[in-house]
């Protein structure tokens, strides 16, 4: 898929900007704080419904305005479609083809992945970060994922409320059964996707980090997949009551990466963490291509940060070879940056103003 155009209104520093994008590399160059990352953020919001940057939702809205809107024309094969997302007076709204829709429906029509300076948190951060990353991939290959996940979350909230309230003994079996009803297929979907993901990721990790030896990826479902979840919830009831929340289930799922020469993520340097995270992001992009026959849009924010020239050359070579549309930012970019010699459409960004360069 490709983004043909992007129109941003009242997002962070931008009052209004409209961009025509090319199918190859689109590079946004400018000083720190000029607004480059916000352009990538806009594309990402169309695909995820939230930003990849930390902060409150209100921080996305330009000061003095009531909300932001992002419109894009998307091309998938021969088909063009308009996509839009906005937060107006605190309410998130989405449109596909000009018609109102849920954010989940919008996300089904848009696929954007972002590699940015905080991407190393995929390895060094908490399990929530890794679950979100995994679930984006599952969402795009398992049609029932979103409804199953939503029902599981509802049952989890109800059970946790009963545990914290110290009452509702008669209701717990009902919510145990409901949690198991949706939790077991949720874990099965994740496990199926993770197997595909591993098949794509291992060769990329070996290619970018050969010095670390054989990579190993493992998935933890958050409960014993060989045992009925309903039975496990009964077994752990005493501990759950004591802690006031459900301690076993898909909401506790996680996955991990290790190498022969660096079994724990703490053994990796920051640069190695970033290269590993990039490999995993590309693996997810290739999983999407295997299912949909096209690459997602790749957003690359300050790609060269903390990556040496040799490894950066391998990274760029991998990106160019995959044929995806790229939206990238940099404070500067020389014509021979890390050996890159392909065509680039350049934009200069200064004080939330964007000018296309010849």
Per-domain residue ranges of the chain: 1-111+296-358, 126-294
Q: What is the pLDDT of residue 106?
A: 95
Query: Which H or E element spans position 245?
Result: none
Q: How confident is the model at residue 343 (pLDDT cuts 50, 70, 90)?
A: confident
Q: Evaluate whether 305 touches 117 at the Cβ level (below 8 Å).
A: yes
Quick one: 126-294 is in which CATH superfamily? RecF/RecN/SMC, N-terminal domain (1.20.1050.90)
Q: How confident is the model at residue 243 (pLDDT cuts 50, 70, 90)?
A: very high
Q: CA-to-CA distance for 90 and 65, rounded, in angstroms?
A: 11
What is the average per-residue pLDDT within 158-185? 90
Query: Which H or E element spans position 108?
Result: helix 103-108
What is the average per-residue pLDDT within 98-127? 93
pTM (2 d.p.):
0.92
Q: DSSP state, 298?
A: E
What is the average per-residue pLDDT within 292-298? 96
Q: How confident is the model at residue 339 (pLDDT cuts 50, 70, 90)?
A: low
For the chain, the average pLDDT equals: 92
The tokens describing 101, both together, are: 């829709």
Q: What is the pLDDT of residue 188?
A: 97
- Give the three-class secondary structure for 345: strand
**pLDDT for 118-138, tens place per residue?**
898 999 999 999 999 999 999
What is the average per-residue pLDDT within 298-326? 91
Q: What is the pLDDT of residue 341?
A: 61
| Out of 37-46, 87-96, 190-199, 275-284, least confident range | 87-96
Q: What is the pLDDT of residue 284?
A: 97
Q: How confident is the model at residue 297 (pLDDT cuts 50, 70, 90)?
A: very high
What is the average per-residue pLDDT within 233-244? 93
Q: What is the pLDDT of residue 184?
A: 97
Q: CA-to-CA distance for 33 and 192, rounded, in angstroms?
A: 41
CATH 3.40.50.300 is held by the domain 1-111+296-358:
yes
Q: What is the pLDDT of residue 167?
A: 67
**pLDDT surpasses 80 at 220:** yes
Q: Evaluate whether 190 touches 138 at the Cβ level (below 8 Å).
A: yes
Quick one: what percent of the chain has pLDDT higher than 70?
96
Query: Which H or E element spans position 218?
Result: strand 215-220
**pLDDT for 79-88, tens place per residue?**
899 999 999 8
Q: What is the pLDDT of residue 334?
A: 56
Q: What is the pLDDT of residue 59?
A: 85
| Out of 40-49, 123-132, 277-286, 331-340, least confident range | 331-340
């Amino acid at each position: 898929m490709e983004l043909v155009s992007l129109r941003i209104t009242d997002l962070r520093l931008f009052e209004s900007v409209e961009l025509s994008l090319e199918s190859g590399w689109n590079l946004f160059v400018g000083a720190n704080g000029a607004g480059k990352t916000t352009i990538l953020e806009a594309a990402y919001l169309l695909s995820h419904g939230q930003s990849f940057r930390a902060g409150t939702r209100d921080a996305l809205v330009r000061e003095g305005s009531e909300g932001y809107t992002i419109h894009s024309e998307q091309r998938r094969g021969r088909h063009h479609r308009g996509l839009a997302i906005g937060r107006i007076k605190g309410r998130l709204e989405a449109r596909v083809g000009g018609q109102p829709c849920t954010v989940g429906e919008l996300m089904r029509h848009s696929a954007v992945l972002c590699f940015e300076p905080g991407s190393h948190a995929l390895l060094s951060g908490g399990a929530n970060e890794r679950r979100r990353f995994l679930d984006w991939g599952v969402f795009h290959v398992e049609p029932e994922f979103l409804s199953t996940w939503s029902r599981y979350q509802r049952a989890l909230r109800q059970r946790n409320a009963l545990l914290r309230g110290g009452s509702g003994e008669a209701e717990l079996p009902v919510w145990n059964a409901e949690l198991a009803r949706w939790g077991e297929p949720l874990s099965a979907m994740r496990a199926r996707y993770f197997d595909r993901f591993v098949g794509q990721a291992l060769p990329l990790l070996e290619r970018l980090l050969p010095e670390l030896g054989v990579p190993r990826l493992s998935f933890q479902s958050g409960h014993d997949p060989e045992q009925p979840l309903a039975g496990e919830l009964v077994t752990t009831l005493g501990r759950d009551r004591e802690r006031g929340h459900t301690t076993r289930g898909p909401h506790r799922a996680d996955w991990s990466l290790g190498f022969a020469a660096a079994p724990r993520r703490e053994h990796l340097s920051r640069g190695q963490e970033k290269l590993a995270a990039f490999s995993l992001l590309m693996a997810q992009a290739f999983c999407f291509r295997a299912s949909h026959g096209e690459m997602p849009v790749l957003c690359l924010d300050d790609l060269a940060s903390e990556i040496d020239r040799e490894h950066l050359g391998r990274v760029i070579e991998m990106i160019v070879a995959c044929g995806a549309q790229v939206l990238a930012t940099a404070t500067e970019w020389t014509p021979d940056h890390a050996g890159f010699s392909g065509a680039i459409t350049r934009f200069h960004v200064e004080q939330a103003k964007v000018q296309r360069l010849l």
